[in-house]
Amino acid sequence: MDVRLNRQELYELVWSEPLTRLAKRFGISDVGFAKACRRAKVPVPARGYWAKRAAGHSLDRTPLPEADEHVTSFSASAPKPSFRAPEDDVWLAERNALEADAAYAIEVEDKPRRWHPVIAGYRDAMRADAREIEAARKVAERYDQLPERRRVSASYSDGFKWRMIQDRGQFVLDTHRASAFRVSIGSYERALLIMNCFAFSAEKRGFSVRDNPSAGRITVEGHGGEIEVRMTERLEQKHRERKRYDGAIEQEPYKVPTGRLRLFLERGSFTGSSLEDTSQSSLELRLNDAFRLLNALVIKCRVAKREHEAREKRWKEDEQRRALAEQKRQEEARRLREEQDRRKALEAEAQNWARASAIRAYVAHVLTVVGATPDDSLESLASWKNWALSVAAELDPTSERTSARSTSDQ
């Protein structure tokens, strides 16, 4: 929608509300709006004007100076359609009220009576890896306790494994691929307990929980949303002295687990939220907050789905319009070809008629000349005449055209 303002109208507008709001309304930046005012020689409020007005100060406007009339045009962009439905807000309010109810407070069991099948699979894998890591750590400790003379011949393959794990943060399931758990050997049992409780609580709230190994996530699905869940632990980078091969001492970085767990809730790779251990509250006490975040992401999934469906509908409508336009184009091209063919046929008929008329005129001319000078070969002339007139009759389309009209009239 185009908006045209003269200098007086623009002046009244910029002194009625801040430029930032006006710029947003017209779909341009506040800098661009200010430039438009300068071009029209319209003064704008100074910095701090609206803050002082909000504080109750009475301030005068800068008068509009005399200048040539100037019309400023803006193309106000149409508001984007909203794909959030009223039932979304009702559902979200109901679900968040449930999370605020003390009867639905989530408590993490130190010794769970049962394990969720998805979490149990991670538990078994992580415990097996933890045992290997512990064995490697013991080998490294024994190696460090050996006298210098015996270290040369001692096997240290498992010890090197522990050193690598230790340098990267002591992660169980240490992998470069995406993983639903990226926690240290000192925190993995606690992370499993939290996720086990979270999985059962999600199912009580009408969600389904499944493993998604291809994405390296645990998927929580239901109520129109699909959320990916993962658990991580914050690491702290430190430095230690290391002797190089040439005997020089350098600072070597390594990572230390902090024990601070973070629960990530993500809508694919597009957007998400997270909760973390704090000094005031542990993650175990904040799982109801996690479901509030999850509920908000469900609404985003619904909105994104509706937006996708609307986009697909627009694409199909555009495709249908393009197909219809192409059909019309082809029909018009066919009509033009048919018209060209008719014209060519008409021109050919006219040419044949002209040739037939020329032959008949020539025959008449020959007969006139011969009649003026009698000849003994009248019989051969009559034969030639009949032949020539038959050729003219073959060329002349008149009889065929008139017979076609008579047929159509009947």
Same domain? For 146 and 247 the reply is yes
Same domain? For 118 and 192 the reply is yes
Nearest-10 crossing angle of helices 7-14, 30-39:
140
Q: Which residues constitute the domain of residue 237?
A: 110-277
Task: Choose the final residue of a domain: 255, 277, 299.
Answer: 277
Same domain? For 11 and 145 the reply is no
Nearest CA to 264 out of 255, 253, 256, 272 is that of 272
pLDDT score recorded for residue 183: 94
Same domain? For 42 and 175 the reply is no
Q: Kindly report which listed range (105-109, 259-263, 372-376) carries the lowest average pLDDT score.
A: 372-376
**CB 36 within 8 Å of CB 14:** no
Same domain? For 174 and 271 the reply is yes
pLDDT score recorded for residue 154: 45
SS3 (DSSP) at 278:
coil
pLDDT score recorded for residue 153: 46
Choice between 34 and 81, residue whose per-residue pLDDT is larger: 34
Choice between 377 and 401, residue whose per-residue pLDDT is larger: 401
Model confidence pLDDT, tens digit, residues 88-103: 999 999 999 999 998 8
Same domain? For 47 and 121 the reply is no
Model confidence pLDDT, tens digit, residues 61-75: 888 888 888 888 776
**CB 165 within 8 Å of CB 174:** yes
Task: Rank 8-17, 323-332, 399-408 by mean pLDDT and report only the highest.
Answer: 323-332
SS3 (DSSP) at 371:
helix
How many domains is the chain built from? 3
User: How much is the average pLDDT of 119-140?
Assistant: 89
Is 0.75 surpassed by the pTM of this model?
no
Q: How far from 214 is each of 208, 226, 388, CA to CA, in Å?
A: 18, 15, 90
Choice between 68 and 124, residue whose per-residue pLDDT is larger: 124
pLDDT score recorded for residue 24: 79
pLDDT score recorded for residue 148: 59
To the nearest whole number, what is the mean pLDDT of the chain?
87
b (16+ CB within 10 A) / e for 338-350: eeeeeeeeeeebe
**Cα Rg for the chain, rounded, in angstroms?**
45
Same domain? For 253 and 377 the reply is no
CA atoms within 13 A on the CB side of 368: 6
Q: What SS3 string covers 93-158?
A: HHHHHHHHCHHHCCCCCCCCCCCCHHHHHHHHHHHHHHHHHHHHHHHHHHHHHCCHHHHCCCCCHH
pLDDT score recorded for residue 19: 86
> Is residue 89 assigned to a domain?
no
Task: Choose the final residue of a domain: 277, 299, 321.
Answer: 277
Model confidence pLDDT, tens digit, residues 148-204: 555 554 455 556 777 788 788 888 887 788 899 999 999 999 999 999 999 999 999
> Is residue 161 assigned to a domain?
yes
User: How much is the average pLDDT of 294-319?
Assistant: 94
Choice between 244 and 291, residue whose per-residue pLDDT is larger: 291
Task: Choose the final residue of a domain: 75, 94, 128.
Answer: 75
SS3 (DSSP) at 275:
strand
Same domain? For 12 and 157 the reply is no
Strands 181-182 and 225-243: parallel
Same domain? For 248 and 144 the reply is yes
Q: Kindly report which listed range (29-33, 146-150, 235-239) carries the lowest average pLDDT score.
A: 146-150
Spatial separation of the C-alpha atoms in residues 180 and 189, rounded to whole Å: 14
Residue 300 has pLDDT above 70, yes or no: yes
Q: How confident is the model at residue 376 (pLDDT cuts 50, 70, 90)?
A: low
Choice between 108 and 176, residue whose per-residue pLDDT is larger: 108
